Structure 1
Amino acid sequence: MADYRNLRELVTGARPEEQRVLLAIEDITMSPRMRALQQKGRFEVFPIFRGCASIIEAGVISYFRGNYISAYLTLVPVIEGVTLRWMGYTGRGKKPDFRKIKRFVASSYRRQPCPGNPLFHEVYVNVADKILREHLFRPSGEGDAHSHFNRHLAAHLLSDSHFGTKENCVRLCLLLDVMSELYIYETYCQDPRFYLRGEEIQKEYEGYVQAFINRADSSAPERTLLLAKDANNHFESNASPFRCASGQDAAQVKR
């Protein structure tokens, strides 16, 4: 509830700043513990995510290493892949029309007229649908998506726009989390995340923390090769590269 109040104050303030809102969302969404909970409690369990779970984890590891280009390009196709599995497509026969894929989340009420937690369900449907239709799945002929957050742009490299950013990676992980929440509301399945013991997420948690710590190493290839050649901030290059989602430095996270 405290997170909700904080976000509401940021959004409804006299001069809401997108960067501050994104940082608040990052603090909630992108901590190593939260990513481990989502990985073990949802993505490796729910059928529509299970086939993409290792791909999701590869993207998350790239994120924690500060390789946002690789993280973004890894996670972008997962959104469509999860949606197709949710629609029942198995890879055989004709793939569903993309217009149906784009509108799938918005049609949630047709699949489940009585969803669990209807108030939150409505909020999540509206948020996910807006992100998908107006940005991620927006046709290239209809203008630019916000912050170049667009699958078509990434898939075909239509321009030199910098889509592989930290912020866009956070948006993708948030979208996956919202989709997993909607899946629970539609299917009435239990949320396995709440039944996980600490030791069951320990391996993933420690791996993500280690990836985060490794990016602080000045000899890491992401820093010596990619960051050195990139003057446009594809990678985190501020004065303190050790900040993680919780605002702690690498040493604090390790402890």
Structure 2
Amino acid sequence: MNLWETYVKVDKHLNEKLLTIPPYPCVSGKRIQELLASLENPDPAWGGLDGEILRMVKNPWQRAYQIEYRFKPTKIFNDFMKIIESATYDLMIGNYICSYLSLVPVVEAILRKWFNEIKSINKQGGDFNRKIFVENLVKYLYEKNNERHTNIKFQNWINNQIKFFDFMINEVFYLRFKDSEEGVKKEFNRNRTLHLLDNIEDVEVVRDNNTRIFLLLDIIAELYLSLNEELYNQNTFHTDYEKNIDFNLRWKIYLKSAMETINFTDMTIINFAFYQEEKKTMTDEQKQKFIEQKEYQIQFIQSKN
């Protein structure tokens, strides 16, 4: 099995979970083989292949990279960077509900921006129709990608992302209620989330949906940038991230925030103390200790003012 066949095998399994191999420059041939090993010999303690993808997407370094070298250069993301930044911080501290709910409307907002940009360039009229726009956009992306003849591997790479984008938008994320009543398509559904708040209290589902929605945004940014070869190359092959102070500041903030979740944060205390009582995760004695801890922290802050 050659490298591309391995890629397709791994990705086919991931698509069943509404996931894909992330569009990151760090995804080398070696990494693809590691993902295959996670598929064929999964370690339950690490979540198998799904767990590998979750950690790749949530990685503090990667999230800082995506913001600095994918989202910021992508013009259609510009008006929503504060929301994405807040959602990323919530992701790092384990506040999955706020992170996911913040990003669900961002997907459509970005698509509308893309529609307006294309309409302005082509001097077209008409209002935004998500289904028609995405169908035309997918055709356009395939046409532009097929014009590339110098790098077949990159062409295959982008084609796979177009396919995933088309699948997620048209066959999953925007499905009507009656078409999304079972399985993962019920879990990751824009209409059920915004109108019914389905699965919002299921910690594992919301955690997985964060992986899916960040992946979807990563794919959209990758496809947008791929249309501009100079901009894409500049933000892929000529990134001096070691000297980029903005990237490093984000990375350290995200890393510090993620590391704090190893122990109890205020958010995890709230979750364990009030919303998992049926599992008896936290006793009243433990709650009392946290009350005393918070009182001490409040006094310490007051003493500094």
Task: State TM-score, norm by structure 2.
Answer: 0.66
What's the RMSD between the two structures over aligned residues?
Answer: 3.3
Q: Residue by residue, what CA displacement relative to the aligned partner does 1:106-161 show, whole Å, maximum 9, x if unpaired?
A: 33225665257321111111112112222212121212361611111111125456
Q: Residue by residue, what CA displacement relative to the aligned partner does 1:163-202 show, whole Å, maximum 9, x if unpaired?
A: 6611110111111111122122223233424413324211
Q: CA–CA distance in 1 between the matches of 2:277 and 2:194?
A: 20
Matches within 5 A, 1:47-126: 47-88=75-116, 95-103=127-135, 106-107=138-139, 108-110=141-143, 113-115=146-148, 117-126=154-163
Structure 1 SS opposite 2:116: coil
- 2:192 aligned to which of 134, 153, 156: 153
Q: Larger Rg: 1 or 2?
A: 2
Q: Is the 8 A contact 2:180 2:189 kept in 1?
A: no
Structure 1 SS opposite 2:158: helix
Confirm whether residue 196 of structure 1 aligns to residue 237 of structure 2: no
Confirm whether residue 215 of structure 1 aligns to residue 261 of structure 2: yes
Equivalent pairs, count:
232
Matches within 5 A, 1:165-180: 165-180=206-221
- Relative contact order, higher structure (CA 8 A, sep 6+): 1
Q: Residue by residue, what CA displacement relative to the aligned partner does 1:37-95 show, whole Å, maximum 9, x if unpaired?
A: 111112112201122222111111101100100110011112112222122269xx974
Structure 2 SS opposite 1:51: helix
Match of 1:142 in 2: 179
Could you tell me which amino acid in structure 1 is paired with residue 179 of structure 2?
Answer: E
Structure 2 SS opposite 1:196: coil
Structure 2 SS opposite 1:195: coil
Q: Which deviates more from structure 2 when the two are superposed, residues 184-193 or residues 131-140? A: 184-193
Residues 221/150 of structure 1: CA separation in 2 closer, same or farther (3 Å cut): same
Q: CA–CA distance in 1 between the matches of 2:78 and 2:115?
A: 15
Q: Is the 8 A contact 1:22 1:167 kept in 2?
A: no
| CA apart distance, 1:26 | 2.1
Segments of structure 2 that go 5 or more residues without pairing to the other structure are: 1-27, 119-124, 283-305
Q: CA–CA distance in 2 between the matches of 1:133 and 1:140?
A: 14
Q: Is the 8 A contact 2:199 2:206 kept in 1?
A: no
| CA apart distance, 1:15 | 8.7
Q: Is the 8 A contact 2:84 2:103 kept in 1?
A: yes
Q: Residue by residue, what CA displacement relative to the aligned partner does 1:195-240 show, whole Å, maximum 9, x if unpaired?
A: 133242111011111221333453x33122233222399xxx9xxx
Structure 2 SS opposite 1:197: coil
Say which structure is richer in helix. 2
Structure 2 SS opposite 1:45: coil
Segments of structure 1 that go 5 or more residues without pairing to the other structure are: 238-255
| Percent identical residues | 20
Residues 23/75 of structure 1: CA separation in 2 closer, same or farther (3 Å cut): same
